[in-house]
Amino acid sequence: MKKELTRQQYLDLYYYMRLNRAVEDTMVKLFRQNKIVGGLYSSLGQEAISVGSAYALEKKDWLAPMIRNIGALLVKGVPPRDVFMQHMAKYDSPTKGKDGTSHFGDLENLHIVSPISMLGDLIPVMAGVAMAGRYLGQKIVTMTWIGDGGSSTGVFHEGLNFAATQKAPFVLILENNLWAYSTPVKRQVPIENLADRAKAYGISSYIVDGNDVVAVYCTTKEAVERARAGEGPILIEAKSFRRLGHAQHDPAEYVPKEMRAYWEGRDPIELYEKFLMGEKLLDAKGKKAVEEKINTLLDREREFAENSPMPPPEFASTGVYCTGDDCHKIQPRWERPIAEVTPPKSSVKAVWTVEGFGSGKSSGGANAPIHFGDTKNTIEIPASNGKVPGKNGAKPRGKKPVKVGAAGTTGKVKR
């Protein structure tokens, strides 16, 4: 951890990590009191990832959390009562009791896209949001998270490839917490660093200690600035450990005791407290003040949530489909002249020039082969005198085709 932030930034990171854990501890109590109607998914030991990465965004930027990214919601400005009520399915919750977990967002003010249960699907969605922001001239960056298991889904690769080809200003945080439910990462993936998957799409990547909140913040801040500057999407692998089971019903007995003990000794909040104390940024009095502030806040927020009514039965059929005046109205927020993206200024010639391909140059006469590509990997296609081989009885002319490979491909490949 390096002393590169302002004192307030250091203390903000500490506050949000402590708030993240306290919110989840409160929800565990509510769950055991049978007041939470849905599943409960803990981020114990991973708070530094959600908090540090979300803190690197600007207010205008967009994020899409997953179920363990409550810390990111808190950093973005979601009040704890909304998190409580959402899990308790209360009428005053963001979804009016329509959901019992964390499936809610705020498109208008906080720029939060609701989680999608199908892992990986948020990647193309947030790539699209990033492209829309660029089109409107907003200069935004978008962000979402994925786990090590979710990085093996098809849409992870499809979405990342799409973002890469479009150079979308998008940052993906890959939380390698070593377990996809009960499957260890070594049994999922044949590589040591999941960040290496970025190479397949020609984009940059970072590897960061997910239990070091300052490292997470600084790394993400750099990635966000690069994405905003037009360098395209960036992948960050944050290595950490999920210290509780997949959800409250999972005791995680499959985790070796030695592994659990090691990571419990690397608790991100305890590590950060030692750093702050060592740098004279926090003392016992300041720590107590933070604890009292959080306890006072959560007592008030929990009381509000518990006193919120359950949704009336007749409300069950409303708000499900977007019809008439019930729809939210989303209008584009232009921050550039519309003329720039409308004809005639936006018109371009319908010509797609790809370097090293499609030239079709031939210097050996009508019967010579046509060369495509570069000189190191040239494919020779026999000349057909203007006729397509095998069509309407036309036969190839010029060099005799040579079979290459088990599939019997015609043509000669030079390497």
Catalytic residues: 242, 246, 254
DSSP 65: -
Note every long-range contact of 190-197, with CB atoms under 8 Å and residues 24 or more positions apart, other chains counting: 193/237, 194/148, 194/151, 194/237, 195/235, 195/236, 195/237, 197/151, 197/157, 197/160, 197/235
Residue 252: closest CA among 304, 182, 313: 182
Is residue 216 packed enough to be buried (19+ CB in 10 Å), middle (13-18) or exposed (0-12)? buried
* Nearest CA among 208, 219, 214 for reference residue 4: 214
AA identity, residue 45: G
Burial class (CB in 10 A: 0-12, 13-18, 19+), 212: buried
Place of tokens 């419990």: 264
Query: Residue 272 has what DSSP assignment?
Result: H
> Exposed (0-12), middle (13-18) or buried (19+): which is 411, by Cβ within 10 Å?
middle
CA–CA dist 76, 58 (Å, integer): 9
Q: CA 24, CA 41: separation in Å to the nearest integer?
A: 9
Q: d(Cα 204, Cα 226) in Å, to the nearest integer? A: 10
Residue 395 CB partners (closer than 8 Å, separation 6+): 389
CB 298 within 8 A of CB 70: no
Closest-CA residue to 214 (of 57, 18, 63, 9): 9
- What's the CA angle centered on 49, arms 47 and 51, to 5 degrees? 65
Exposure string for 35-55, b = 16+ CB within 10 A, e = fewer = bbebebbbbbbbbbbbbbbbb
